[in-house]
Amino acid sequence: MPLFAIIAHDKPDAEAPARRRAARTAHFERMQAAVGQGLVRFAGSMLGPDGAMTCSIVLCDFPDRAALDRWVAEEPYVLNGAWDRFEVAPVFAAVEDGVITETWLRLMAAHMAAG
């Protein structure tokens, strides 16, 4: 399945942390289910200078972008307005689990051979 990155920024207002907390249990339960289904490979939060969560990062495998878009539309942080905006993009994995991927090695060999 294609690998995608989701970078979701929290709304920057004073109530943002409260919205995140309000949806956190539903978000965690949903993420646990997605991990169990093999859809989510990595998830975490970016932290602001004060240590507060300001952005979510998710690396996930979905059959296609449409399936991912449907999944994101049902995300508790989307439904309760915790996320202000998000970016979704396909990802090429050069390193996985601390190991350089064969795909990346083939690409680099072709690049070096080309000149």
Nearest to 75 by CA among 26, 14, 4, 2: 26
Nearest to 3 by CA among 102, 91, 97, 104: 91
pTM of the model: 0.84
Residues forming beta bridges with residue 89, ordered by sequence position: 5
pLDDT tier at 2, thresholds 50, 70, 90: confident
Q: Where are the domains of the chain?
A: 3-114
Contact 23, 80 (CB under 8 A): yes
Q: Could you give the residue ranges of the DSSP H alpha helices within the chain?
A: 16-36, 65-73, 76-79, 102-114
Taking only the tens place, the pLDDT of each residue in 23-60 is: 999 999 999 999 999 999 999 999 999 998 899 999 99
Contact 83, 11 (CB under 8 A): yes
The CATH-assigned architecture of domain 3-114 is 2-Layer Sandwich (3.30)
Contact 83, 9 (CB under 8 A): yes
